Structure formats: structure tokens, C-alpha cells
């Protein structure tokens, strides 16, 4: 597609996306299916452009409103500001007047603007981050604006991390071991993973390093019965299964068949034989109740606002509202309550979210512990050390707390809970 046409396609995509009635990746996928003629480079430019706009939406809207000299719809001006092709495609896509307008606006001193505008946050979220993170708020807000790296988890059923790094070195793909996860590899750039043998053969899976640490905290053992209570597409399920060396029984529960369907090809690549996907209607499903008191370990990666993943999903900050978070906290408390009934005495539960808001994290856990004296909190740093991971700097007030500005991961929270061996 000609760069000029690509620019107007980006305008049209933004028109759809900025209604915020569907996830940004779903809107892009729909476009790519409708336009199979788009090449790999065109798709990359479109994706990078619209995601750049979503990250900086409030700033770009503010800048574009100050100078309407080039005219056109707001979505077109946003696409011009967010254009992410190379210099050659930029000059092919934009007129000289548009190039000068873009250069002039992007050169403005954003420090003169209010912080929430500068960091493109809705007012309610800016206030929440400032209230909860204080002096760290500016660094966190800036980190959430940066694109996330590509993290992989090495499948220990099939390969060692050193072998995977050697493969990437031979392919001239810059990669390094992640600093915290014992299985993590961080790749530079955006290689086509589906074309790589190490991916097709199940040596690696895409998974943020922070997400990998949830499996470290649960620490399932060979032969145990384990439940991934909110399995989704199964990234953490596969990590747990590999830790169990494909022994025991690992149930992957989720309320969405379509999410569990995405687990099937990943499961086939992984080589695991101990995973049992189970679609449930809700957290109180009879299939959940039948396992009450029988399970050794439970992972609850609870549905949440996703506000720790803004580097990957910048549309989440515009799609979520305070009332949505309030509704989610009710659901999170209910899910934790139901998942906890599965545990044997002495069993371990990890409650986790990819949110940076305490009301979805420690607030849920503290309320649960107050109401359930038969459970206790286990210091996350002690668990990490037992698993060979140095927990210093990863743990706040006993729980895992990862932030992109501190750890170069998504924002993650996890608390380790244990059912007391005997009820008190």
C-alpha cells in the first residue's frame, strides 16, 4: 500500500479504536483480516502508529487542538503525530506542510503542560497513581508510556535457557537472560517468532518476565494436584506444567471457551501431558465444588483492570473507569473466596493481578485474610529465595510488587497465601 493510503487507513482505524468499544488488538485484527493485501511492513507501520497514538492520546489531542493549520479530522492529525514509519515513508505519506506541522508540535516543551496531559493519563488514574506511589509517580507514568520488550519463557521440558540463547546468537537475534525469572529470555526488536524453529518446536513461549514469577511463587511439585483458576490462554498454565515435569494433574479453569481454545495449540507445542482444560460457568461452578479440599496449589490470576500492562495495551487506560474497577474488586473477592475452598490444609494459593492499584491487590488479600483466620500470608521474598530467585527489590510489605520503572516488567502484584495445617 502506498504510504499516503496507509496514513488514511491509520486515520480510519483510529476512528474505530477511539470509540473504545473493543480492544485495540481486536480492531487491528479485524482490519488485517479485511485487508489481506497488506504486507508485513504495512501492518507493522499501522500497528506502531495507532499504538503510539493510544499511548500519547491525551498529549497528542492537546497539541493538535492548539494548531489546526493543516485541517482535516482529529483522527488524521493524530495519525500524523503518531506516524511510526521510517523517514522515507514519512516523506512519502505526508505533504511538506504536514511534515512541518508535525515537527513543530512534537518539538513543543511538554513540561509546560499538566502532568496528566504530559503522560497521557485520564484524570482519575493520574490521581490514583500519584496517591499510591507518591514520589515514584513520575517515573512510573513515564515507564508506562514505553513499548514493552518481547519476553519469552524457555520450556524446561524441552530446552535449557543457555541452548535457546545460543540459537538466537546463531540467528543474529540479540537476546539476553532476564534478571529475575530462571527461564526468561528478552529479545530485542520484533522478530517473526512463528517462523523460528525454537518457537514452532515448543522450546519457548511468549510470556512477560513478571508473569513467569507467578509460577515461581506457586512452586508446584511433581505429582501434585494444581489448579490454574483463571487460566485464559494458558501462558501460566504451561509454566506450571513444566515445573511439574508433566506429572500430577493440572487443571486449567476459565469461563471463556474461546480463551481455552487458544491453549490447545500451545499445549501441543509444549509436550505437556498433565494439563486438563476445563470450561466453567462461574467461580461457584459444580466442577469447582467437586475439588474442594483436594488441591495442593491454586493460582488465581484474577480478572483485573489490566493497568499494569499499559505498555502493551495502552487502550486500557481509556477503556477502564473507576466504576469498572469497583465492579472488578467485587468479582476478585468472590473468585478468591471460591478458589480458596479448593485447598487442602497446608496448601498454597497465589493471588495475582496485572494491576497497579492497591484496591485490586493488597486490599483484596487483606480483606480475605481478615475474614479467613485459617489462612496466613507467606512472605514472597522467602518463597523466591527458596526457588533460587533473589527477591530483594521485588517485594513490598511481604508481597510481590513489580513495576515497569523498577523491573522492566509489566506491573504485577502477587500474594502467597497458605491454608493453615489445622484450622485455628
Query: Active-site residue numbers?
Result: 354
- For residue 252 the three cell numbers come to 486449567
Ranges of H-type helices in 308-378? 316-319, 322-340, 362-371
Q: What is the DSSP string of 239-265?
A: HHHHHTTT-SEEEEEES-HHHHHHHHH
Q: Return the residue matching grid coordinates 513478571.
A: 210
Distance CA 220, CA 245 (A): 10
**58 is written with which cell numbers?**
491525551
CA 200 to chain centre: 22
CA neighbor of 189 nearest in space, from 179, 167, 200, 174: 174
Going by the DSSP 8-state scheme, the letter that residue 149 receives in this structure is P
CB distance 415 to 351 below 8 Å: yes
* Other CB atoms within 10 A of residue 194 CB: 7
Would you call 219 helix, strand, or coil by DSSP? coil
Q: At what angle do helices 24-34 and 40-55 cross, to 10 degrees?
A: 150
Backbone angles phi, psi at 204, to 5 degrees: -135, 155
Rounded to whole angstroms, how far apart are CA atoms 126 and 120?
A: 9
Instruction: State the cell numbers at 93.
Output: 505519506
Cα gap 9→346, rounded to integer Å: 57
Amino acid at each position: 500500500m502506498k504510504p499516503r493510503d496507509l496514513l488514511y487507513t491509520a486515520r480510519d482505524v483510529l476512528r474505530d479504536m477511539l470509540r473504545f468499544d473493543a480492544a485495540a488488538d481486536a480492531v487491528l485484527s479485524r482490519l488485517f483480516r479485511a485487508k489481506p493485501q497488506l504486507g508485513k511492513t504495512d501492518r507493522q507501520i499501522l500497528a506502531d502508529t495507532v499504538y503510539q497514538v493510544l499511548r500519547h492520546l491525551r498529549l497528542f489531542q492537546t497539541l493538535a487542538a492548539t494548531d489546526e493549520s493543516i485541517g482535516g479530522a482529529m483522527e488524521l492529525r493524530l495519525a500524523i503525530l503518531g506516524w511510526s514509519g521510517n523517514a522515507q515513508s514519512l516523506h512519502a505519506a505526508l505533504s511538506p506542510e504536514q511534515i512541518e506541522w508535525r515537527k513543530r508540535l512534537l518539538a513543543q516543551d511538554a513540561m509546560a503542560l499538566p502532568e496528566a496531559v504530559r503522560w497521557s493519563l485520564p484524570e482519575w488514574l493520574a490521581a490514583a497513581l500519584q496517591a499510591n506511589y507518591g514520589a515514584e509517580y513520575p517515573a512510573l507514568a513515564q515507564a508506562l508510556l514505553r513499548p514493552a520488550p518481547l519476553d519469552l519463557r524457555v520450556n524446561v521440558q524441552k530446552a535449557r535457557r543457555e541452548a535457546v540463547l545460543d540459537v538466537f546468537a546463531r540467528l543474529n537475534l540479540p537476546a539476553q537472560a532476564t534478571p529475575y525469572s530462571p527461564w526468561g529470555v528478552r529479545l530485542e526488536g520484533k522478530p517473526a517468532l512463528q517462523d523460528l524453529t525454537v518457537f514452532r518446536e515448543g522450546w519457548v513461549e511468549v510470556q512477560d518476565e513478571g508473569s513467569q514469577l507467578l509460577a515461581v511463587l506457586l512452586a508446584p511439585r511433581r505429582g501434585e494436584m494444581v489448579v490454574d483458576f483463571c487460566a485464559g490462554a494458558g501462558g501460566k498454565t504451561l509454566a506450571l506444567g513444566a515445573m511439574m515435569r508433566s506429572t500430577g494433574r493440572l487443571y486449567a479453569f476459565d469461563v471463556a471457551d474461546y480463551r481455552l481454545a487458544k491453549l490447545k495449540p500451545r499445549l501441543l507445542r509444549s509436550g505437556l501431558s498433565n494439563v486438563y482444560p476445563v470450561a466453567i460457568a462461574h467461580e461457584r461452578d459444580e466442577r469447582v465444588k467437586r475439588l474442594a479440599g483436594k488441591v495442593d496449589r491454586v493460582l488465581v490470576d484474577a480478572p483485573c483492570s489490566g493497568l499494569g500492562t499499559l505498555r502493551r495495551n495502552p487502550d486500557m487506560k481509556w477503556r477502564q473507569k473507576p466504576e469498572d474497577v469497583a465492579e472488578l474488586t467485587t468479582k476478585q473477592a468472590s473468585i478468591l473466596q471460591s478458589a480458596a475452598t479448593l485447598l487442602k490444609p497446608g496448601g498454597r494459593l497465589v493471588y495475582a493481578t496485572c494491576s497497579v492499584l492497591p484496591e485490586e491487590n493488597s486490599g483484596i488479600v487483606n480483606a480475605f485474610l481478615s475474614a479467613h483466620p485459617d489462612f496466613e500470608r507467606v512472605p514472597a521474598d522467602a518463597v523466591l529465595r527458596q526457588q533460587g530467585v533473589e527477591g530483594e527489590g521485588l517485594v513490598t510489605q511481604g508481597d510481590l510488587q513489580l513495576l515497569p520503572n523498577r523491573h522492566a516488567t509489566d506491573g504485577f502484584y502477587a500474594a502467597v497465601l497458605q491454608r493453615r495445617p489445622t484450622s485455628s
